[in-house]
Amino acid sequence: MPKLHRIAPLIGYTLLSLVVTWPLVTQLQGWVPGFGDWGQNVWALWWTRQALLVQGESPFFTRYLFYPEGITLLFHPLDLTDGLIALPFYGLAGGDVSYNLIVLLSFVLAGLGGYYLALHLTRQRGAAFVAGLIFALSPYHFLRLELGHLNLASIQWIPFYLVFLLKFVREGRTRWAVLAVFFMLLNAWCSWYYVIACSMVSLAIPFLPVAGSPTLYRRVGRTALVLVLVGLILSPLMGPMFQLLHSTEWMGEHNPLRHSVDGLSFWLPGPPSAWSGWFEPLWSPYAAQHREPGASAYLGYSVILLGMAGLVGRWRETWGWLLVGGWFIMVAMGPQLQVAGEIFETKLPYYYLDAYVPGFSISGIPGRFVVMSSLVSAVLAGYGLTVLSRRWSPHTSWLTIVAGGLVILEFWAAPVAGSSTRLPQFYTQLAADAPVYAVLDFKWDANYLLHAQTVHQKPLLGGWLARMPKAQAAYLDQGSPEQVISAALLGGQATPTDPAQRRQMVNDSLAQRQVRYIIDHNGVLGNWLTEQLGWRSVYTESGKIVVYEKDGQSARHDP
């Protein structure tokens, strides 16, 4: 029986993960859940493997973009954690399957993480299982999935960090400190947002009432020890980041007001909830103003009621968690109060954090701190179900089933929408070419280009990252496609007015960068390439792409 208690949560969360992410398990190849940024996250899995196993170099810098100079990835959501997890099977299964397996893993482990955190606090397995459900199925988690943010969908390391930090603060055992540091590193390699969030909670941990805790002095010291160790280990990354932050102008900064949570969002189910359509007239006015959080900070009324029961029945143990949850709700609401789409002058904590905490401005998306309000609501709900279970002890199993069922129903988001990952066959043909050369792939869709690179595996001229130096991104601000390419090749050099000289200069630059093929999507470059640069079409594919080569010698044909 004890063994069953250990594996039952794993089995339960695994089965539920397959159901709530349907039809993912039936489309592991050729399809990924979500839209938007999934391409850059598939690229992150590929690049981690390419850098570590093929190139033998640091994954935080790449020459496969902006070839041959390269570009830093320190400010890009590289998602090193998931890249490391994918190492054993990426080479065999490919990007699609690796991405989808990691998505499933995020749901299973988020459930387990929430379960172990709540179990540590409540000592009640049924209540802990429901708490894990609340965290794993939170609207925030499904929003990350819908936006293609694999790194942010990997929320599972947060509760594992907190449970081992709590254990270390209480017991002082070295192994708990090591595990807390380990899981904080996994959070850091997924997202710096989660490091900030975990650090904030860590500052509150010594003051949370826990039975059997040592003196406040020891609690503070043990918490500080973990944070210092994390800082020391991450300093080789954080040091250069702070240096670059102050010495380089960056592109890709976010407007916090557009990425904050509206006050109503916590009370209304919005996208990607299955019930969002019923409430669209209420959430659409403010969701349109917010790019990321939209209307997806919903706490759930079943969760709120359970949390209230926990606060009433276990006030001495829960008041601290209530303060932590309230803090993150306010931080997620951004620099100014917003209710029903109206922005008020009232300044919120995020405004002061942004103004006075060095480096905090790098965040820019307050809505991502909803992850912690979701976790705290799960903890409080776990306490509440514990209270109810003790009051009606003969019906504990039924209470757990009913509470879990209500949570699943309220947070239901299946079937999960997704995107096809199919690409033109030409990219696969490029991968078979042994020589190293660059490709100019011209399409106004950065995620498409990054995803395509995971297939053809050739360096790209130019590129795109979530955050990159303005000097390297300047070419994207040009007007016509021809001007964009010329700026990428020539930089600040004066472009000759004579067509023959301009043609020679552009072609010389392409040759210096070892560009063998230019891939044109939607026919935007054709005339310029043939008439102005003298390149020839060597391959077309079903009207999707036309491939050009300088001498036209490849003799590639339409498949």
Domain residue ranges in the chain: 2-62+92-418, 425-549
What pLDDT is recorded for position 284? Answer: 79
Distances (CA, A) of 534 to 443, 504, 529: 21, 10, 6
Decide if pLDDT at 559 tops 50: no
Decide if pLDDT at 91 tops 50: yes
pLDDT tens figures, 375-429: 999 999 999 999 999 998 888 899 999 999 999 999 999 999 999 999 999 999 9
- Tokens representing residue 242 in the block: 């702070």
What pLDDT is recorded for position 129? Answer: 98
Sign of torsion over alpha carbons 197, 134, 303, 340: positive
- Cβ contacts of 8 within 8 Å, gap of 6 or more: none
Decide if pLDDT at 558 tops 70: no
Q: Residue 553 — very low, low, confident or very high, per pLDDT cuts 50/70/90?
A: low
Q: Average pLDDT for residues 91-101, to the nearest whole number?
A: 96
Which has the minimum average pLDDT: 153-162, 230-239, 269-278, 316-325? Answer: 269-278
What pLDDT is recorded for position 280? Answer: 85
Percent above pLDDT 70 for the chain: 95
Nearest CA-CA partner of 270 in 257, 282, 255, 260: 282
- Cβ contacts of 174 within 8 Å, gap of 6 or more: none
pLDDT tens figures, 173-229: 999 999 999 999 999 999 999 999 999 999 999 999 876 678 899 999 999 999 999
**363 in helix, strand or coil?**
coil
Residue matched to tokens 């999707």: 544
What pLDDT is recorded for position 333? Answer: 94
- Tokens representing residue 339 in the block: 């209710």
Quote the mean pLDDT of the chain: 92
Residue 329 corresponds to which amino acid?
A: I
- Residues 203 and 224: their CA atoms lie apart, in Å, by 8
Contact between residue 263 and residue 337 where contact means Cβ atoms under 8 Å apart:
yes
Sign of torsion over alpha carbons 149, 152, 153, 154: positive
- Residues 148 and 145: their CA atoms lie apart, in Å, by 5
What pLDDT is recorded for position 498? Answer: 79
Q: Average pLDDT for residues 364-372, to the nearest whole number?
A: 94
Percent above pLDDT 90 for the chain: 72
pLDDT tens figures, 475-491: 888 778 888 888 888 87
Predicted TM-score of the model (pTM): 0.94
DSSP 264-320: GGGTS--TTSTTGGGGHHHHHHHHTT-SSSTT-----HHHHHHHHHHHHHSHHHHHH
Q: Residue 58 — very low, low, confident or very high, per pLDDT cuts 50/70/90?
A: very high
Contact between residue 456 and residue 439 where contact means Cβ atoms under 8 Å apart:
yes
Contact between residue 229 and residue 188 where contact means Cβ atoms under 8 Å apart:
no
- Residues 473 and 324: their CA atoms lie apart, in Å, by 39
- Residues 528 and 171: their CA atoms lie apart, in Å, by 70
DSSP 460-511: BSS---SSEEHHHHGGGG-SSHHHHHHHHHHTTSPPPSSHHHHHHHHHHHHH
Distances (CA, A) of 265 to 327, 370, 430: 16, 11, 47
Contact between residue 368 and residue 261 where contact means Cβ atoms under 8 Å apart:
no
Contact between residue 133 and residue 408 where contact means Cβ atoms under 8 Å apart:
yes
Q: Residue 494 — very low, low, confident or very high, per pLDDT cuts 50/70/90?
A: low
- Residues 324 and 128: their CA atoms lie apart, in Å, by 19
DSSP class of residue 528 equals I
pLDDT tens figures, 142-153: 999 999 999 999
